[in-house]
Amino acid sequence: MNEAKTKHDWSLDEIEALFNLPFNDLMFQAQTVHRQQFDPNKVQVSTLLSVKTGACSEDCGYCSQSAKNATDLEKEKLLPLDEVKRAATDAKEKGATRFCMGAAWRNPTDKNLERVVEMIRAVHDMGMETCVTLGMLTESQAQSLKDAGLDYYNHNLDTSPEFYGNVVTTRTYQDRLDTLARVRDRGINVCSGGILGMGESRRDRASMLRELSNLPKHPESVPINMLVQVEGTPLYGVEELDPFEFIRTIAVTRILMPQSYVRLSAGRTEMSDEMQALCFMAGANSMFYGERLLTTENPNADADRQLFDRLGLNFETSQELQATEKECDSKKKVRMEIEFG
């Protein structure tokens, strides 16, 4: 198989055809693409901290932090800087190379953004990559984050444009795309993916991946989440997704976006070791590490290390991560020169 070509004009039929491949053929193709771009036995590790929890004005049907959902979550104010620094230090000592901070806002105020900027600079000074997810951004706010040295901004599309209204009504799909454009235009790496198992169809999953893969530039990081069902949210009790369908989605994501880091995100506590192993084989090469993801549980560090030992996987170090990113940038430059002269 020739080296995968980066495309930005995938059709829905093409993507559905990948989903419909025999499982072994799909896995082989995804693993081949993965090996062309990455060390198949290295996994980039991120840690996620909720720096402001609950009382969000959005109505996302999956979210325990929505003020509109009747969950038992206690709302909390923005964490003090020292507490964030302690959490980042602990994450670095456990092997994380990226520290992600999430705040339950529809969009941050400029005053709140100033406090987040302090957090970004503090974590950056520790030698870690930084990522934040704060909701929608204005152009000036995106520039402020760039000036602070932010490495990644997370803003998930969640699902397909067609299914989106079944999950969220308080912001539009275009609102999400606009925020991604503002972040990308300022030279901040984009982290954007979706959530599976919300009652969507395979065609919806294909449509979501078409939106991501046909962006002007593929997201540098693509988190694929399994819905964590929280009692009191509208999506509690929805039929669970077939594990093989989740693995297929990881594989298709890898084929569509060869140079992106594909991250196993929420829902790993519900996944068997065997399912996670197949996800890594399908091209996942990033994951969240640590006992908590915002407000949901995550496997403990010892369990992850034991799984990695059994599979012969290793955490990607900061030096290896930087080398991989430089190599990917070099390949992108060569492709652009060939395609556009």
Binding annotation for [4Fe-4S] cluster: 56, 60, 63
Q: Binding site: residue ranges?
A: 56, 60, 63, 100, 131, 191, 263
Just list the catalytic residues. Answer: 56, 60, 63, 100, 131, 191, 263
> For 63, how many CA atoms within 13 A lie in the half-sphere containing its CB?
20
Q: Is 148 helix (H, G, I), strand (E, B) or coil?
A: coil
Residue 298, both tokens: 């995550």
φ/ψ region of 312 (left if φ > 0, alpha if ψ in -120 to 50, else beta) reads left
The residue among 250, 204, 223 whose CA lies nearest residue 27 is 250
Q: Which amino acid is at 79?
A: L
Other C-beta atoms lying within 10 Å of the C-beta of residue 249: 25
Q: Binding site for [2Fe-2S] cluster: residue ranges?
A: 100, 131, 191, 263
Q: Phi and psi of 318, rounded to 5°?
A: -60, -40
The residue among 217, 306, 290, 197 whose CA lies nearest residue 257 is 217
For residue 83, what are the CA distances in angstroms to 71, 87, 122, 123? 25, 6, 11, 12
Please count the residues of the chain: 341
